[in-house]
Structure 1
Amino acid sequence: MSQPFVFRSIEFDGEHLRVAIRPGTSPIPPLLIFNGIGANLELVFPFIQALDPDMEIIAFDVPGVGGSSTPLRPYRFPSLAKLVSRMLDYLDYGQVNAIGVSWGGALAQQFARDYPERCKKLILAATATGLFMLPGKPGVLWKMATPRRYIQPSYGARIAPDIYGGAFRRDAGLALTHASKVRSGGRRGYYLQLLAGLGWTSIHWLHKIRQPTLLLAGDDDPLIPLPNMRLLAKRIPNAELHVIADGHLFLVTRAEAVAPIIGRFLAEEQRRARVRHLPL
């Protein structure tokens, strides 16, 4: 049985960062989670619960999201990666494994590149290279351009099939459950996250990411079409791609199937890159 979460509020330069830690006893380094845009840490709890209960987990709300304070000035991915490193120092963690989801996948790439000694292994889920990526359909991106789905849960539930795809197309209850866990940080925090990624790209330095990297992609992802993940697999030297038969939020909707893949990757030695498909 896994340990309960320990919640912390850490102050840096007058701003507060909300952190949740699930203590663990595994010899594997703790797993640090970089969440998606506008997403408070509670949204990844179903995924965390599917992981090995002995694995230590660190999750946090990005500045301007959930329970973290909203900064007065804009930030970029390098400065946010630095803040995460400071957070690990404060919590007395040395090396971690990192998983980044969607927008958080960009931040995870930045963290792995800027602090390679802190990141043992890297997992990227439903993410891309930033500026030089194959975008989703304009209608889908337009719905993502504002935080309305987080501020108005009924609207979020209505558009979930269009923006998340996969299981959300087949099960209306999923959207309502997801929306009920949202803790909005407000419009400003959301737009600061959008601004952080404006013009950012990792395409020119992905070859410098030397950590063993697990790539997880949905085959019905309206936000991050599959070719983006194949590009990451091509550019990162030691990468392995798994394709899951689901949409953008497969970490939640197929947590029980994805968690063992992650567990094996974190537990084993380096492997040669390959592509696998996970059927329904």
Structure 2
Amino acid sequence: MKGGVIIPTVKANGINIYYEVKGEGTPLLLIEGLGYATWMWYRQEKLQQNFQLIKFDNRGVGGSDKPQDPYSVELMAQDAAQLMEALEIDKANVLGVSLGGFIAQELAYSYPDKVEKLILCSTSFGGPNSIPIPQETLEVMQKGGGEYSSLDELRNAVGVALDRRLWDENQDIIDKILHEKSTNPQPKHAYLRQMEAGAAFNGEEKTSHIKAPTLILAAKGDRVVPWENAQLLHDKIPHSRLELLSEGGHLFFMERPDTANNLIREFLKED
């Protein structure tokens, strides 16, 4: 219970995982990225008109437990798989963003019977043959987690995830993220555990074994995970399709929600 409100959690993989289920239809499991909680999907709410949205907080963030022990992408994929079992969801479409894209790939590889279709956004297969995070962005990311020293420092951390060209028209996104991150800051240790898990992931050899039909989405204004990684993923994953947005950054699904939601909806409704 938090502030007199009952927080919906289930015990899965040894931790309490916060989750939300909205809408009806085929389940769509949403897996967020580093330092983000379920609120990051606020512009995907319209998808609940077509699908049952299952949103949850990864270990280390939001309403889920934040253990001190090391995290790994494999462990976080186990979290997702056991969450599905706890919710009695045999199979779902899975969408992952950034670190969530790593987790989604691992889920599709290690638990193929649980994944109907796969959507990978703003992500890569990790490892030495992926195109790395730019050094300027990495320096900003390494300061993440915990209490920020100033609002300007937090604003700078948020801004790197957005397309510079769309900055002026997306102040509402910045305000939303600033509010959520300052209201419920992620503990520094948990942020670092998540970041270390992403840094250690190398899924390149696994990608060619992914069986699920896959949609890969990226935007050319991404200053976190260079969009060329999407092409590398597309070259590796069988039965995959690549869609590149000319505008948008790492959080293109917030910046261009109608375009992103339509691409997601159309892909999942295809036979």
Partner of 2:31: 34
83, 88, 94: which one aligns with 1:92? 88
SS at 2:138 equivalent: helix
Trace 1:57-206 onto structure 2 (pairs within 5 A).
57-131=53-127, 132-148=129-145, 151=148, 153-166=151-164, 168-171=166-169, 173=171, 174-182=173-181, 183-206=184-207
One-letter code of the match for 2:233?
L
Paired amino acid for 2:208: H
Cα RMSD over matched residues? Answer: 2.1
SS in 1 for 2:200: coil
**CA distance in 1: counterparts of 2:51 and 2:176, whole angstroms:** 26
CA contact (8 A) 1:162 1:169 kept: no
Give the 3-state SS of the residue equivalent to 2:123 in structure 1: coil
Deviation at 1:164, TM superposition (A): 2.6
- Give the equivalent residue in structure 1 for 2:212: 211
Contact 1:67 1:185 in 2 (8 A): no
The answer for the alignment partner of 2:270 in structure 1 is: 268
Q: Which residues of 2 match residues 234-273 of structure 1 at below 5 A?
A: 234-244=235-245, 245-269=247-271
Q: 1:80 to 1:212 in 2, by over 3 A?
A: same
CA separation in 2, counterparts of 1:81 and 1:13?
10
In structure 1, list runs of 5 or more residues that go unmatched: 1-5, 270-280
Q: Which moved more, 1:238-247 or 1:115-124?
A: 238-247
SS in structure 2 of the partner of residue 198 of structure 1: helix
How many residue pairs get matched? 260
Task: State the secondary structure of the residue aligned to 1:128.
Answer: coil
In the aligned structure 2, how far is the partner of 1:235 from the partner of 1:15?
33
- 2: distance between equivalents of 1:56 and 1:167? 34
State the TM-score, normalizing by the size of structure 1.
Answer: 0.86
Deviation, structure 1 residue 77: 1.5
Q: Indicate how the Cα distance of structure 1 residues 166 and 115 shifts in structure 2: closer, same or farther if over 3 A, else same.
A: farther
Structure 2 CA distance for partners of 1:219 and 1:74, relative to 1, 3 Å:
same
1:102–1:125 contact (8 Å) kept in structure 2: yes
- Structure-1 separation of matches of 2:170 and 2:266: 32
- Inter-partner Cα distance in structure 2 for 1:74 and 1:207: 28
TM-score of the superposed pair, with normalisation by structure 2: 0.89
Asked whether the equivalents of residues 13 and 82 of structure 2 are also in contact (C-alpha less than 8 Å), the reply is no
Indicate the percent of aligned positions where both proteins have the same amino acid: 26
Counterpart residue identity of residue 213, structure 1: T
8 Å Cα contact 1:7/1:20 also seen in 2: no
User: In the alignment, is the contact (CA less than 8 A) between 1:19 and 1:60 conserved in 2?
Assistant: yes
Cα deviation, residue 45, structure 1: 1.7
> What's the CA shift string for 1:210-260, capped at 9, x where partnerless?
211000001111111121100001000111111112111011111112111
Does the residue aligned with 1:240 lie in a helix, a strand or coil?
strand
